[in-house]
Chain A
Amino acid sequence: MHNSKAHLWFIAPAIILMIIILIFPLFLAGGISFTDYNLGNKTFEWIGLENYDKMFNRKTYVKMIWATATYVIVVVPISVILGLCAAMLLNSLRFGADIYKTIFFLPVMATLLAMAIAWEFTLHPTLGIVNNFLANGCGGAREFIFGFHWLPWVDSEQSWYAVACANNMDFPYWLKQKNTAIWTVCFIGIWQAFGFNMVLYLAGLTGIPRELYQAAEMDGAKSTWEQFKLVTWPMLGPTTLFVVTITTIRTFQVFDTIEILTKGGPSKTTYVMMYAIFEKAIQQNLTSIGAAITVVFIGFILILTFFQRYIIEKRVHY
């Protein structure tokens, strides 16, 4: 051991910053959540679990939990599956894979806020190309495809597309309607996230030895699907676990699209947790309830991560 004091200078700044910026705020949030403190107040009182009680009983916060859960449960699986499908398709291409990879990765890179506004216009009822595209397709092939007329149980007179066409091109106002807003926001979330997952899966796929596929073929797994089940999917286990966890954590933190596009509305259908923290604590200066939401939020994230580590240690070893 040389210069025995050097390490102190090396680790001290990092330790001090970790304590002030990352660890202390956890306790601060916990502490504030048991009080009625609002930023700017001189005094406060301990009110026990009142904030948490509100959170699980008031309609607004119940809706918040619903909106967050819906968003996570829709976006995570779809963006993971799309990422996997895209990676496998690209991996099997003879040419052109790189250009698709670049395109699919663009949304991950681009400033999400800007893209949210671009989507807002793309989906705008009068200015947007999506509704324009739909309106021009009334009575044609587009109506057949997007109205799901090809499904045997859909009545082609009564499909959503046919009804909209009949009512003077009354197509949805995607982001402003109660029954479509959350799904539209989910769609933008998936659009943004799947390229990231695709890249991780592409890296995972290159790690699978070719011999395994040959061995599987000798064992009689001839079709692509059988080979996928026998080789690809199990070999991608660790990648999948990682992709799911990281996507879930990111998805939980959705804020940009909500703040700029829906402000939690209409009637709180898109009122996700990060937006709730921002609206309550910053805009309405209800610091203590914001702190309670923060604690629940961090709790979710910690449970998820511990769960992931647990599975890693238990199962995904080959």
Chain B
Amino acid sequence: MEAKQYIGEGWKHAILIIGAIVVLLPFYMMVSMSLKSQQEIQSISGGLIGAQETQTFPVCVKTGYSEEECTMKPYKYNYWFAFEKAPIPRYLMNGVIVTLSIFIIQVLVALPCAYALAKLRFYGREFVFSMVLFCLLIPVHGIALPLYVMLAQAGLVDTYSALILPWTISVFGIFLMRQFFMTVPDELIDAARMDGMGEYAIVWKVMLPTAIPALLAFAIFSVVAHWNDYFWPRMVITGNRDLFTPPLGIREFRGGIDSDEFGPMMASIVTVTVPLIVAFIIAQKRFIEGITLTGMK
């Protein structure tokens, strides 16, 4: 490699590092604030983790805890107090319930339909497929208002059903699975029929196992989208804290931005955001594949 190339490489890294700093800035801010004491946050001192001096926290004392209970290091206090103030495990649990229900129902609906569209011949198949293609164009967030009106008329606002129902049909899932099933050889299905398997058994015992890789990518796509979704829960959950999903929880923590302490607030936000980020860093390749699924044609 020539010297010139080294210099070129160096420039590229310089540009990319500046980009990386800008990208990481809010992550740094978030983690740093969740570890530092209020004074350090307000005076923008203490670097990433602050001095971590053991101290008594006045807001905690005011809330009714004894002075002894309120004396500890800032990082510990921030996370402890965050869990004292809000039912964070409940929010996370709701996130899990909602995202998993959505994913399971989506698969239950999409897989048989995709199989029928790919491998069964019947009258009207082309019509059903063009209906799927048309529905691919409709962004569910765009029709949120009429959906909301329908749910309100049915008396379902502020329920788990409201969070789950609109997402039970994933036309994208049908489309994706159909494309995948097209590549499965007919012989496999014929052999299964020869063995006396019914069509139901074929879907779940023959097609499902072959579709695992595609399904995994779709799972990540679906779970990430609905875990992070804020717009829809904000529409249909008006006040019932028991139904809050993680993003609604985040909004609630942010509530007292001027009066409250920032440390515990950021600690709550970090707690809610971290599970997905950790999962992403562990299984990066799969995640990138899953999230850019929409990039497939």
Give chain A's interface residues, CB within 8 Å of chain B. Answer: 1-4, 6-7, 9-11, 13-15, 17-18, 21-26, 28-29, 32, 39, 86, 89-90, 92-94, 96, 100-115, 117-122, 126-130, 132, 191, 195-196, 199-200, 203, 242-243, 246, 249, 253, 255-256, 259-260, 274, 277-278, 281-282, 287, 290-291, 294, 297-298, 301-302, 305
Contact A18 B199 (CB under 8 A): no
Contacts of B15 in A (CB 8 A): 89
Q: Assess A281 versus B26: contact at CB under 8 Å? Given A22-B135, A109-B224.
A: no
The minimal Cβ–Cβ distance linking A97 to chain B, given in whole angstroms, is 9
Distance, CA A122 to CA B28, complexed state (A): 9
Contacts of A113 in B (CB 8 A): 228, 230, 247, 250-251
Contact B145 A17 (CB under 8 A): no
Q: Is the interface of A mostly helix, strand, loop or mixed?
A: helix
Identify B169's interface contact among A21, A111, A249, CB under 8 A.
A21
Contact B110 A14 (CB under 8 A): yes
Interface string of B170-192 (1 = CB under 8 A from A): 01001000000000000000000
Distance, CA A15 to CA B145, complexed state (A): 21
Contact A301 B137 (CB under 8 A): yes
Contacts of A39 in B (CB 8 A): 149, 152
Additional pairs, 10, CB under 8 Å, beyond known A14-B132, A25-B147, A121-B30 = A1-B121, A1-B122, A7-B122, A25-B143, A113-B251, A122-B29, A191-B23, A200-B295, A246-B294, A277-B145
Contact A25 B295 (CB under 8 A): no
Contact B122 A4 (CB under 8 A): yes
B20 within 8 A of A: yes
Chain B residue nearest in CB terms to A88: B12
Contact A278 B234 (CB under 8 A): yes
Chain A residue nearest in CB terms to B21: A103
Contacts of B276 in A (CB 8 A): 109-111
Identify B42's interface contact among A1, A9, A127, A290, CB under 8 A.
A127
Contact A32 B146 (CB under 8 A): yes
Contact B199 A256 (CB under 8 A): no
Contact A199 B199 (CB under 8 A): no
Contact B199 A10 (CB under 8 A): yes
Q: Assess A114 versus B30: contact at CB under 8 Å? Given A14-B110, A274-B141.
A: yes
Contacts of A25 in B (CB 8 A): 143, 146-147, 150
The minimal Cβ–Cβ distance linking A119 to chain B, given in whole angstroms, is 5
The minimal Cβ–Cβ distance linking B191 to chain A, given in whole angstroms, is 13
Give chain B's interface residues, CB within 8 Å of chain A. Answer: 9, 12-13, 15-16, 19-20, 22-27, 29-30, 33, 41-42, 44, 108-110, 112-113, 115-117, 120-122, 125, 128, 131-132, 135, 137-150, 152, 165-166, 168-169, 171, 174, 193, 198-200, 203, 224, 227-228, 230-231, 234-235, 246-247, 250-251, 254, 257, 262, 266, 269, 272-273, 276-277, 280-281, 284, 287-288, 291-292, 294-295, 297
Contact B277 A106 (CB under 8 A): yes
Rank and list the top 7 A-B pairs by shortest CB-CB distance, nearest first: A118-B26, A25-B146, A6-B199, A17-B169, A10-B112, A14-B113, A10-B116
Contacts of A249 in B (CB 8 A): 139
The minimal Cβ–Cβ distance linking B211 to chain A, given in whole angstroms, is 15
Contact B292 A200 (CB under 8 A): yes
Most chain B CB inside 10 Å of its own CB: which residue of A26, A104, A115: A115
Identify B199's interface contact among A3, A15, A195, CB under 8 A.
A3
Chain B residue nearest in CB terms to A25: B146
Distance, CA A25 to CA B151, complexed state (A): 11
Identify B200's interface contact among A6, A115, A253, A302, CB under 8 A.
A6
Contacts of A89 in B (CB 8 A): 12, 15-16
Contacts of A103 in B (CB 8 A): 20, 23-24
Contact B284 A298 (CB under 8 A): no
Q: Assess A111 versus B288: contact at CB under 8 Å? Given A7-B116, A18-B131.
A: no
Contact A104 B109 (CB under 8 A): no
Most chain B CB inside 10 Å of its own CB: which residue of A17, A86, A122: A17
Contact B19 A28 (CB under 8 A): no
Distance, CA A191 to CA B125, complexed state (A): 43
The minimal Cβ–Cβ distance linking A78 to chain B, given in whole angstroms, is 13
Contact B246 A111 (CB under 8 A): yes
Q: Assess A111 versus B247: contact at CB under 8 Å? Given A2-B199, A17-B169.
A: yes
Distance, CA A107 to CA B33, complexed state (A): 19
The minimal Cβ–Cβ distance linking A26 to chain B, given in whole angstroms, is 6
Distance, CA A317 to CA B94, complexed state (A): 46
Write 29 A-B pairs (CB below 8 A) sorted by A numbering. A6-B120, A9-B112, A10-B116, A13-B113, A14-B112, A14-B174, A21-B168, A96-B16, A102-B284, A104-B20, A106-B277, A106-B280, A110-B228, A111-B230, A113-B228, A114-B269, A117-B269, A118-B27, A118-B269, A120-B257, A121-B30, A121-B266, A246-B294, A253-B139, A255-B231, A278-B235, A281-B145, A287-B145, A294-B142
Distance, CA A15 to CA B150, complexed state (A): 18
Distance, CA A28 to CA B23, complexed state (A): 42
Contact B9 A22 (CB under 8 A): no
Contact A104 B19 (CB under 8 A): yes
Contact A196 B142 (CB under 8 A): no
Contacts of B234 in A (CB 8 A): 259, 278
Identify B143's interface contact among A22, A101, A111, CB under 8 A.
A22
Contact A11 B113 (CB under 8 A): yes
Contact B247 A115 (CB under 8 A): no
Contact B20 A109 (CB under 8 A): no
Distance, CA A6 to CA B201, complexed state (A): 11
Q: Assess A11 versus B116: contact at CB under 8 Å? Given A21-B165, A104-B20, A109-B287.
A: yes
